[in-house]
Amino acid sequence: MAAALVALVFGFWRPRSLHWIAVGAVLLFAALNAAAGIYVLSNFNDSRWSPGRDQPLSAPSLSETPLVGEFLVPLDAAMEGVVGGVNDFRSFQQALPIVLEFFAASGWALLVSFPLVILAAGLGFLAAQRRKADFRKFRATVDSLRDELEQIKLQLSSGSTSASAIPLRDGGPETRSQATRG
């Protein structure tokens, strides 16, 4: 949901770069799924990952044994450690399918992002080519106007009293006399 929301917000904010926004949303989805998988791995003892599963194991207490119970207290601690390790392993085993689902979703998103990146780069290249062509057109127009301005300056600086033809942008000459130029 977060990746889709980010894509919508940025899509309205920057509609010209939707291809890069799509790539970003897919990569955000992959990163969020990987982060969720890492979170589940770091908190595999949480009961959310093993609902309805077996109850944790508990070690029997040997210290309550008559006559030798006080000598078996260290064995109780060792057995609690072993049973705790088994419980951790069972919790990890129960959380592992959830982790793998998150990592699989992240992997699929990364797999989808490769063609999207290629497509976005191609669209970006085409947009750059179009901007370059537009810039060349604008540059040609500026150069043409600069040439016309130089011609007008030369005609004005010559100071001849005869009528002179000043070319217009639409191609038709306009004839002006000395009196109208002044």
> Tens digits of per-residue pLDDT, 130-175?
999 999 999 999 999 999 999 999 989 887 545 455 555 555 555 4
Confidence of residue 39 (pLDDT cuts 50, 70, 90): very high
**Cα–Cα nearest to 103, from 159, 168, 37:** 37
How would you classify residue 159: left for phi > 0, otherwise alpha for psi between -120 and 50, otherwise beta?
Answer: left
- Cα torsion angle, 156, 157, 162, 168, sign: negative
pLDDT digits (tens, 9 = 90+) for 79-119: 888 888 888 888 888 888 889 999 999 999 999 999 999 99
Q: CA–CA separation, 51 vs 47, rounded Å?
A: 6
Check: pTM over 0.85? Answer yes or no.
no
- Counted residue by residue, the chain has a size of 182
